[in-house]
């Protein structure tokens, strides 16, 4: 029987570098609270402007709804005509790259960080997330650290995608998410 225990007093996050200096991170914290997390701000264009001001690479025609939480804009790339829905959380402790024409539905979470539960010190682990063109992350779904969603993948409502290898034009569902069928897109 294992007698080792988690000891959070040993947790040391000093190796993690969030990027930018402390003043920029401080200014971003309040900008995020006032203009992004705040449900009273529906102005997408202002949010795009502010993200670019803080170093995000944002394409044209991007729509950002109210109550979006973004950890670090300087670690965010969003392609043309992508949508970020209400209550989306982009916890980008590492790079997050969202391709063109992607949709993050209400309450979706992109989580770049986790902890090493095998170590008593519960060390932080970070890995990037990549969503290729046309990916749709359904409402209340979670994309875990290190996941690379291939082109036009769909993650259905309330699913958890933690596997790194995915197939393009495939619908994933469940927890853990598994490919359940091909995505067929019909011409309008």
Give the residue among 70, 73, 72, 135 at the shortest CA–CA distance from 104. 135
Cα-flanking dihedrals φ and ψ of residue 124, to 5°?
-75, 140
* Domains annotated on the chain, with CATH: 20-181 (2.160.10.10)
CA distances from 113 to 43, 95, 167 (A): 29, 11, 23
- The three-state DSSP-derived secondary structure of 58-121 is ECCCCEECCCCEECCHHHEEECCCCEECCCCEEECCCCEEECCCCEECCCCEEECEEECCCCCC
Each of the 188 residues of the chain gets a pLDDT tens digit; together they read 778 899 999 999 999 999 999 999 999 999 999 999 999 999 999 999 999 999 999 999 999 999 999 999 999 999 999 999 999 999 999 999 999 999 999 999 999 999 999 999 999 999 999 999 999 999 999 999 999 999 999 999 999 999 888 999 999 999 999 999 999 999 98
**What is this structure's pTM?**
0.95
Per-residue pLDDT at 188: 83
DSSP 16: -
Per-residue pLDDT at 165: 84
């Amino acid at each position: 029987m294992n007698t080792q225990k988690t000891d959070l007093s040993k947790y040391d996050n000093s190796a993690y570098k969030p990027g930018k200096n402390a003043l920029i991170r401080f200014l971003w914290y309040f900008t995020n609270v006032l203009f992004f997390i705040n449900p009273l701000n529906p102005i997408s264009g202002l949010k795009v402007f502010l993200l670019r001001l803080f170093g995000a690479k944002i394409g044209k025609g991007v729509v950002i709804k109210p109550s979006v939480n973004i950890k670090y804009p300087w670690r965010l790339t969003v392609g043309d005509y992508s949508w970020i829905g209400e209550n989306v959380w982009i916890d980008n402790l590492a790079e997050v790259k969202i391709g063109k024409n992607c949709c993050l539905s209400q309450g979706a979470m992109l989580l770049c960080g986790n902890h090493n539960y095998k170590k008593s010190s519960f060390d932080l682990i970070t890995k990037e997330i990549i969503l290729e063109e046309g990916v749709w992350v359904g409402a209340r779904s979670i994309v875990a650290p290190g996941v690379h969603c291939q082109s036009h993948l769909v993650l259905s409502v309330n699913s958890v995608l933690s596997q790194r290898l995915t197939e393009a034009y495939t619908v994933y569902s469940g927890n853990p998410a598994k490919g359940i069928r091909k995505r067929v897109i019909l011409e309008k």
